[in-house]
Amino acid sequence: MTKSLFILAFLTLELFPLNSNEVWTIRKDDLIGLNKPERELTFTRLKSPYTGREDSYLRKEVANAFMEMADAANKDGFRLSVLSATRNFKYQKGIWERKWKAAKGTDTEKALYILQYSSMPGTSRHHWGTDFDINSLEPSWWETAEGKKLYTWLKANAKRFGFFQPYDKENNERLSGYRDEKWHWSYFPLSNKMTLAYNFLVDYEDITGFEGSESATTVQIIEKYVNGIFPAQ
């Protein structure tokens, strides 16, 4: 079956119930970060003590699951705090282009350097409202005694609440993509649908509008990065 027929088949099934009273349609704008979560009925803003930021928006189902997980962690002596939640295309473009200006080498070399830890605009899971970063963005912190204990707790308990670590290097199943990010967690019941939808609805011509976008095809941003995740178990 051709990709166009796959897309047609998918579009007839793109309505997914979030709960008994709510229906969510996956749109290309949702996938590439052109939506506005603060205006979307399916999003909600996290508040203290679950985050220290005023702009931490997640899809409602994701936010509720995270708060349940954070409450459970708190009972076990751990504090979970969202540092970065949904980021739109413009926000991700700012991150990318700051790093692009500072990077050295050819366009491909610059892209690969940035892609160790940061996504190209239009390809980030942070666009979707299903993924977030917690506690510390520094790999070294997760090697401290405190960081190791929290990570051990997450690996043992996050699955109960629907979460998995998409960028986990401690396995043999993820052979491409970003480096290990112990701080990045994803809500599988929805992000799995978003990943599938991305492959149906987004093409390389949609990945544009920022410095270095021409390198997207060279680095195989969809095949190796969007799809370069550790499957939830």
Quick check: is 56 in a domain?
yes
What range defines the domain where residue 35 resides? 3-226
Quick check: is 232 in a domain?
no
Quick check: is 89 in a domain?
yes
Pick from 78, 115, 80: nearest CA to 95: 115
Q: Please give the structure tokens belonging to residue 170.
A: 């401690």
- What is the CATH classification number for the domain harbouring 103? 3.30.1380.10
Q: What is the pLDDT of residues 18-48, one digit of tens each?
A: 443 445 689 999 999 999 999 999 999 999 9
Quote the pLDDT of residue 169: 76
Quote the pLDDT of residue 231: 72
If one counts the domains in the chain, the total is: 1
Q: What is the pLDDT of residues 173-217, one digit of tens each?
A: 677 899 999 999 999 999 999 999 999 999 999 999 999 999 999
Quote the pLDDT of residue 24: 62
Report the chain's mean pLDDT, rounded to a whole number.
Answer: 90
